[in-house]
């Protein structure tokens, strides 16, 4: 039998739907007590008692990032502020930060969810866990911290940055599991290459990677370099933070915990549900959060439900790797391009180093894409002709994927700007209309 952290992981789909229906009623009653939803439901003539089952969810309005801003700082709370225990904020990569509050119960439920995810990947109480993530308003710090403690791991709150100190902690305390943002994992790899630090000096076996879009090619690189199994971790502060959906040992899609969230996938332009298995925008409803429930939150993250059952036996539906956000699509010369398409090409080319940057520029009336690519040191020393050939090869492979030919700049490893938190993959230098 499967070794589960909690029985919920193996509840049948029927049980999950029944639980969702009950919890949805409770959460809508609670939401109606908040100033924001109270007013919105009244305007739309929605009475909490009309919501009887999960199928009624389509009668409820969606909540957007703009709604969260309008409700700033506390109009979505269902209880007085003094009953709240903590607040976090989103990293604000797009627009102003939004704030989320948690009661003590909410914090405990969140820690349980994160512990469930970690346990699913094979992390146990006797693992030593280093949390390489910003501690502060970002949920990846405290979120994983309390999850790991809940699981019983020796937990090292390393925080973000300072690669040399990260390496010392990893080696001296024989750390076996880490949580790390994928772009930072590759940055750490390039620092280790520079220092001639043999990854075999580390005892790592599991890496939890997430918080930003990344490709399968990126995962494979991290696994190969550190000699670990890397598991995709999806979450967002509006839904607590990490612990929303997570990969199991199959590494084929992320189980989205349906006892804690209702997930829908919609067409971002029409708002209608997409046919089963098709790509669309993920919309999430919290089912257990008492302090600040969110109803049909439009994440802007693009994914799809994976069809079929997972061989691991867990019943919660799986979502595909996030392919991007509905607002990070690049439109260039009439062609739609996602940064992850560029990444998947680059990370499969062995000469390419650990970082890249997409720059959008305008020349005259024409938009151009320039891709700056770090090249591994051992190839950068080669003669001009070899480098020129590499440049052309990269441009051709990119053209096959994105249908336009970008300019390719080859640069030395570790020379592109590295952000402390989530990677910034696109720099748009085009003049604003
Ligand atoms: P924040 O609330 O500031 O931590 O940002 C949450 C956002 O980060 C999500 O809405 C996604 O756009 C992104 N994100 C988080 N985890 C992943 C992941 N595993 N893959 C892709 N994007 C992710
Ligand atoms: Zn599974």
Residue 75: which CATH number? 3.40.50.12780
Give the ligand at the shortest distance from the Cα of 93: 1
- Mark whether 126 and 100 lie in a shared domain: yes
Query: Could you tell me the distance, in angstroms and rounded to a whole number, from the CA of residue 311 to the centre of ligand 2?
Result: 6
Measured by CA distance, the residue closest to atom 4 of ligand 1 is 236
Place 334 in a pLDDT band, splitting at 50, 70 and 90. confident
Query: Could you tell me the distance, in angstroms and rounded to a whole number, from the CA of residue 254 to the centre of ligand 2?
Result: 8
Lowest mean pLDDT across 114-123, 162-171, 418-427: 418-427
Q: Token match 């067409």: residue?
A: 267
DSSP state for residue 89 in the 8-state scheme: E
pLDDT at 4: 87
Place 380 in a pLDDT band, splitting at 50, 70 and 90. confident
Identify which of 280, 285, 277, 223 has the alpha carbon closest to the alpha carbon of residue 258: 285
Query: Could you tell me the distance, in angstroms and rounded to a whole number, from the CA of residue 316 to the centre of ligand 2?
Result: 8
Neighbours of ion ligand 2 (CB under 5 A): 248, 250, 310, 312, 314
pLDDT at 94: 55
Identify which of 24, 29, 143, 20 has the alpha carbon closest to the alpha carbon of residue 79: 29
Asked whether the beta carbons of 111 and 212 are under 8 A apart, the reply is no
Measured by CA distance, the residue closest to atom 15 of ligand 1 is 211
- Mark whether 74 and 164 lie in a shared domain: yes
Q: Token match 């791991």: residue?
A: 153
pLDDT at 3: 75
Mean pLDDT within 26-44:
98
Q: Is residue 308 part of a domain?
A: yes
pLDDT at 418: 87
Place 22 in a pLDDT band, splitting at 50, 70 and 90. very high
Query: Could you tell me the distance, in angstroms and rounded to a whole number, from the CA of residue 143 to the centre of ligand 2?
Result: 22
Q: Token match 């970690």: residue?
A: 118
Dihedral pair phi/psi, residue 123, rounded to 5°: -75, 135
More confidently predicted of 167 and 329: 167
Give the ligand at the shortest distance from the Cα of 245: 1
Tokens of 138: 């970002």
Place 326 in a pLDDT band, splitting at 50, 70 and 90. confident
- Mark whether 221 and 340 lie in a shared domain: no
Q: How far is the C-alpha of 95 from the C-alpha of 377, rounded, in Å?
A: 37
Helix, strand or coil, per DSSP, at residue 288: coil
Q: Last residue of some domain: 327, 355, 381?
A: 327
Q: How far is the C-alpha of 421 from the C-alpha of 427, rounded, in Å?
A: 16
Give the ligand at the shortest distance from the Cα of 340: 1
Tokens of 96: 């102003």
What digits encode the pLDDT tens for the residues 70-94? Answer: 999 999 999 999 999 999 998 665 5
Q: Is residue 395 part of a domain?
A: yes
What digits encode the pLDDT tens for the residues 204-245? Answer: 999 999 999 999 999 999 999 999 999 999 999 999 999 999
- Write down the mean pLDDT value for the chain: 95
DSSP state for residue 317 in the 8-state scheme: P
Helix, strand or coil, per DSSP, at residue 297: strand
Q: Which atom of ligand 1 is nearest to the CA of 299?
A: 10
- Mark whether 334 and 312 lie in a shared domain: no
Helix, strand or coil, per DSSP, at residue 347: coil
Length of the chain: 433
Q: Last residue of some domain: 327, 360, 386?
A: 327
Q: Is residue 433 part of a domain?
A: no
Query: Could you tell me the distance, in angstroms and rounded to a whole number, from the CA of residue 212 to the centre of ligand 1?
Result: 5
Q: How far is the C-alpha of 243 from the C-alpha of 309, rounded, in Å?
A: 21
Q: How far is the C-alpha of 135 from the C-alpha of 291, rounded, in Å?
A: 22
pLDDT at 366: 87
Q: Is residue 51 part of a domain?
A: yes
Q: Last residue of some domain: 259, 294, 327?
A: 327
- Mark whether 214 and 248 lie in a shared domain: yes
Dihedral pair phi/psi, residue 224, rounded to 5°: -70, -40
Q: How far is the C-alpha of 56 from the C-alpha of 176, rounded, in Å?
A: 45
CATH number at residue 370: 3.30.300.30
Asked whether the beta carbons of 30 and 3 are under 8 A apart, the reply is no
Q: How far is the C-alpha of 117 from the C-alpha of 244, rounded, in Å?
A: 9
Q: Which atom of ligand 1 is nearest to the CA of 237?
A: 2
- Mark whether 3 and 95 lie in a shared domain: yes
- The answer, yes or no, to whether residue 192 has pLDDT greater than 70, is yes
Dihedral pair phi/psi, residue 247, rounded to 5°: -75, 145
pLDDT at 1: 45
Tokens of 220: 């494979």
Asked whether the beta carbons of 50 and 76 are under 8 A apart, the reply is no
Q: How far is the C-alpha of 382 from the C-alpha of 378, rounded, in Å?
A: 8
Q: Is residue 47 part of a domain?
A: yes
DSSP state for residue 202 in the 8-state scheme: S
The boundaries of the domain holding residue 113 are 1-327
Q: Is residue 411 within a helix (H) or strand (E), and if so which, with residue range? A: strand 407-412
Q: Is residue 70 part of a domain?
A: yes
Give the ligand at the shortest distance from the Cα of 139: 1
pTM comes to 0.94
Number of helical (H) and strand (E) elements in the chain, helices listed first = 11, 20
- Mark whether 165 and 111 lie in a shared domain: yes
- The answer, yes or no, to whether residue 251 has pLDDT greater than 60, is yes
Could you tell which of 121, 213, 241 is best to mutate to test the pocket of ligand 1, judged by most ligand atoms within 8 Å of the CB? 213
Q: Is residue 233 part of a domain?
A: yes
Q: How many domains does the chain have?
A: 2
Query: Could you tell me the distance, in angstroms and rounded to a whole number, from the CA of residue 256 to the centre of ligand 2?
Result: 10
pLDDT at 432: 79
Q: Which atom of ligand 1 is nearest to the CA of 232?
A: 19
Query: Could you tell me the distance, in angstroms and rounded to a whole number, from the CA of residue 310 to the centre of ligand 1?
Result: 23
Q: Is residue 297 part of a domain?
A: yes
Helix, strand or coil, per DSSP, at residue 27: helix
- Mark whether 185 and 247 lie in a shared domain: yes
List the alpha helices (DSSP H) in 60-103: 65-70
Query: Could you tell me the distance, in angstroms and rounded to a whole number, from the CA of residue 380 to the centre of ligand 2?
Result: 41
Give the ligand at the shortest distance from the Cα of 239: 1
- Mark whether 148 and 270 lie in a shared domain: yes
Asked whether the beta carbons of 147 and 121 are under 8 A apart, the reply is no
- Mark whether 354 and 304 lie in a shared domain: no
What digits encode the pLDDT tens for the residues 99-145? Answer: 999 999 999 999 999 999 999 999 999 999 999 999 999 999 999 99
The residues lining ligand 1, judged by C-beta closer than 6 Å to any ligand atom, are: 90-91, 139, 210-213, 232-237, 299, 301, 322, 325
- Mark whether 94 and 235 lie in a shared domain: yes
- Mark whether 174 and 65 lie in a shared domain: yes
C-alpha 270: how far from its chain's center? Answer: 25
């Amino acid at each position: 039998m499967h070794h589960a952290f909690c029985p919920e992981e193996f509840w049948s789909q029927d049980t999950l739907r029944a639980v969702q229906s009950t919890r949805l009623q409770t959460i809508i009653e609670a939401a109606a007590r908040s100033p924001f939803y109270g007013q919105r439901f009244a305007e739309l003539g929605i009475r909490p008692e009309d919501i009887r089952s999960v199928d009624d969810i389509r009668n409820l309005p969606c909540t957007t990032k703009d709604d969260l801003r309008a409700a700033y700082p506390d109009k979505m709370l269902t209880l007085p502020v003094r009953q709240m225990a903590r607040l976090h904020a989103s990293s604000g990569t797009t627009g102003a930060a939004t704030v989320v509050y948690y009661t003590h119960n909410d914090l405990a439920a969140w820690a349980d969810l994160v512990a469930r995810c970690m346990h699913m990947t094979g992390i146990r109480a006797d693992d030593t866990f280093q949390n390489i993530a910003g501690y502060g308003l970002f949920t990846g710090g405290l979120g994983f911290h309390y999850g790991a403690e809940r699981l019983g791991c020796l937990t090292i709150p390393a925080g973000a940055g300072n690669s040399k100190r990260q390496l010392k902690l990893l080696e001296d305390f024989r750390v076996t599991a880490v949580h790390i943002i994928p772009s930072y994992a590759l940055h750490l790899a390039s620092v280790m290459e520079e220092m001639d630090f043999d990854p075999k000096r580390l005892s790592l076996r599991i890496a939890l990677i997430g918080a930003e879009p990344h490709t399968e090619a990126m995962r494979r690189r991290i696994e190969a370099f550190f000699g670990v199994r890397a598991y995709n971790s999806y979450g967002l502060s509006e839904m607590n933070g990490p612990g929303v959906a997570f990969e199991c040992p199959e590494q084929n899609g992320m189980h989205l915990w349906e006892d804690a969230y209702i997930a829908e996938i919609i067409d971002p332009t029409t708002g209608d549900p997409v046919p089963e298995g098709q790509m669309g925008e993920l919309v999430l409803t919290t089912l257990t959060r008492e302090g600040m429930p969110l109803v049909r939150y439009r994440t802007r993250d693009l994914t799809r439900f994976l069809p079929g059952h997972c061989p691991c036996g867990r019943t919660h539906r799986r979502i595909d790797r996030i392919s991007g956000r509905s607002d990070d699509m690049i439109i260039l010369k009439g062609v739609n391009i996602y940064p992850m398409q560029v990444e998947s090409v680059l990370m499969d080319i062995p000469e390419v180093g650990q970082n890249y940057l997409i720059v959008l520029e305008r020349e005259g009336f024409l938009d151009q894409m320039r891709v700056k690519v770090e090249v591994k040191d051992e190839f950068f020393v080669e003669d001009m002709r070899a480098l020129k050939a590499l440049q052309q090869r990269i441009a051709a492979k990119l053209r096959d994927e994105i249908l336009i030919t970008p300019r390719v700049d080859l640069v030395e490893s570790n020379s592109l700007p590295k952000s402390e938190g989530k990677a910034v993959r696109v720099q748009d230098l085009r003049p604003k209309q």
